Chains A and B, each alone.
Chain A
Amino acid sequence: MVIDQPFSAAGAQTPPPRSAVTEGRATRVALTVIALLFLAVFLVLPLVIVFLQAFANGVGAYFAALTEPDAVAAIQLTLLVAAIAVPLNLAFGVAAAWAVAKFEFKGKAFLTTLIDLPFSVSPVISGLVYVLLFGSQSLLGPWLAAHGVQILFAVPGIVLATIFVTFPFVARELIPLMEEQGTADEEAALSLGASGWQTFLRVTLPNVKWGLLYGVLLCNARAMGEFGAVSVVSGHIRGLTNTMPLQVEILYNEYNFAGAFAVASLLALLALVTLIIKTILEFRYGDALSGSTGH
């Protein structure tokens, strides 16, 4: 994945000698209007509707829906799952990206493909894998039951499914960045007597910090928003194993539309915040993100 360069800075200083487009004004306006309309209908409108519906019964009802015990439990569970899954994938993502980008070894291409696997697998399958692995009817099931370990239909299962689904985000973000930066900085550090660990902490990591933050943001957004895989392993116990997206579905199915959209509005807010931070990162640290310069 290559991150777009911000183009606003360059345009202002060097006025182009002639227009780069040959189309007439009308065509350009028409195309712009179509693009904007498209955005409005498919992105802005649904978002507006979510918030309108959420507040349909008033502000009081909105906050009542969010402080209702099952909703609070869903929010807490979602935060907990993200708090476990995201750091683990951060550690894994950095380790994997480091290994793939900075070293040559056998099976590297295979590892890269493996990292991408969760992107190409349907989330439902991602959930079912854990049912087949840890379910009562599975190979491990009886052993787990005998030792009183509950993985499926409890927090660990939800965490595992979330980790699987959000696996590639950090690594995918870092690998192209690290590859582009090459190993020159690391070689210099090593030649100056730094240990491998020092090199990693002081050279490699600072070089990719904005890309890393970006990957973590995406990973977090998906971890909190995942529906399919989590739905399969959750068991849908109210107030216990329902994450926010599952809670939205339940409330919707119970004709509690204001409640459903209130919880949905939190998820939409999360998406908006992610988007804003992402835009700021791209705007301010576009260079570092794309890896064209060092630190």
Chain B
Amino acid sequence: MLTSSSPAHAPKPTTALGPVLIAQNLYFQFGNQIVLRDVSLEVFPGEVLAIVGESGSGKSTLLNLLYGNLTPSQGIVQAISTTGLQPLSALSQQTLRQLQRSRWGYVCQNPRDALRMTISASGNIIERRMAMGLRHYGTLRQEARHWLEKVEIDPARLDDLPETFSGGMLQRLQIARTLISQPALLYLDEPTSGLDVSVQAALLDLLRKLVSKEQMAVLLVTHDLAVARLLAQRIAVMRHGEIIEAGLADQVLDDPQHPYTQLLVSSVLPA
């Protein structure tokens, strides 16, 4: 009776998929300064989890732990590998790097840090595919063109050097270069912070579409609550190295519980 509306509306089995990233009770210390305290989280396929907080709240350190660039002082990070979930501490450096370049993706704030500025745009895009062993020039070119279109860059720019691109285009290029390996797990580190507002909106829209289409699990680190609201289904608020509040994105933003979250939300300038 209840679901008699139409057979096409039968629930998709997406809810049955387990998390692709699990962090349990992470601590991280620099000397005797505790940078992260008892952080736990999970990210599921097809969802965006936003980590929000001010600079210095520990969100970048957390991202580095979850990406395998840092090792936690205590606690376990498990992430999707070629053979299901694996504790990062059990991976060899080689396996970790392969995962970082195929099953995972990382988009950083400044695209110049990730792109190869002396290699053509198309070369930048297909690097991961070559790392995965594709050795056919024609196919590589085709894929480069395809992804350039996907991130809405004029295919005529295929062989231009990134130097000639605007900031927004560079960020698109970084996204194409990252998503070409169809990662199951995507880390976004302040992906739109360096951009003009209009460019930011277009890029957020693009990211939103790509993420929902590819059913990726996304960990988004941002200080911008508006970005979190647009992209994320869930939000975790960090302060002083701890997650002080977490939940549905709209719930955390519309009905914040913790004093600090209330302060953050009330500090947002109206659009």
Question: A and B: partners?
Answer: no
